[in-house]
Amino acid sequence: MISARMTNAAVYFRAHDDLREALEAFRLERGVTLSAAVVELLALGLEAHSDGPSVSDLQRQVLQLQAELAKRDADVATARGELQHLRLGYHALEEHLKRADVGTCPTCRAPTSGYEFVVTRRCSACNGALSGAPPARDSAALWLIAGIAVALLAYAAVQQ
């Protein structure tokens, strides 16, 4: 560390008006001579230069952080795109289930959709509970409904 007391040789330099005004303001604020103010500021500047990270180090860190941030932004955009894709798939499956006539309500004998059997588990006509496998008209439809149900459950798990 450089101390003001150690300074005993004169150093002359030219300074533009703005720098001289700033030095004068600093001097007045500290209540010291102009020479003491210059010595103190020089000492602080030299100490900061030798101790602190260099400007180029800081610039490198800023660039590194900007690159990391850009990568995270890209990852978030990718995840949003995938989520949107899943949503569209989910809604398509949901619509398919609503249109799939899979059997009849065991209570009121009304035709029931795959959506009622898989999602709401209630008959839309009588609000009766629909439990167990629907009395499917054919086994292929039943397997399709089961596959769609698995896809819907997987989507619900991804959402959590």
Contact between 65 and Zn ion per CB under 5 A: no
Is residue 106 a contact residue for Zn ion (CB under 5 A)? no
Helix (H) or strand (E) holding 66: helix 55-99
Q: Please give the C-alpha separations between residue 4 and each of 56, 58, 63, 76, in angstroms, as whole numbers.
A: 29, 29, 38, 54
Parallel, antiparallel, or unpaired: how do β-strands 111-113 and 101-104 relate?
A: antiparallel
130 interacts with Zn ion by CB under 5 A? no
Stretch in the footprint of Zn ion (CB under 5 A) among 11-19, 46-54, 58-66, 124-132: 124-132
With binding defined as CB under 5 A, does residue 118 bind Zn ion? no
Question: Per rule CB under 5 A, is residue 145 in the interface with Zn ion?
Answer: no
Q: Which of 25, 28, 79, 108 is close enough to bind Zn ion by CB under 5 A?
A: 108
Q: Choose which of 123, 145, 148, 152 interacts with Zn ion (CB under 5 A).
A: 123
CA pair distance 116, 44, nearest whole angstrom: 76
Q: Is 111 in the site for Zn ion (CB under 5 A)?
A: no
Per CB under 5 A, the segment of 14-22, 81-89, 123-131, 133-141 that binds Zn ion is: 123-131
Nearer residue to Zn ion within complex by CB, 93 or 102: 102
Measured distance CA(115)–CA(130) in Å, rounded: 11
> Closer CB to Zn ion, residue 62 or residue 126?
126
| Count of residues of this chain found to bind Zn ion when the rule CB under 5 A is applied | 8
* 130 exposure class (CB count in 10 Å sphere: 0-12, 13-18, 19+): buried
Short-list 111, 112, 100, CA closest to 147 = 100
* Of 86, 95, 55, residue with least CA distance to 151: 86
List contacts with Zn ion (CB under 5 A): 105, 107-108, 110, 123, 125-126, 128
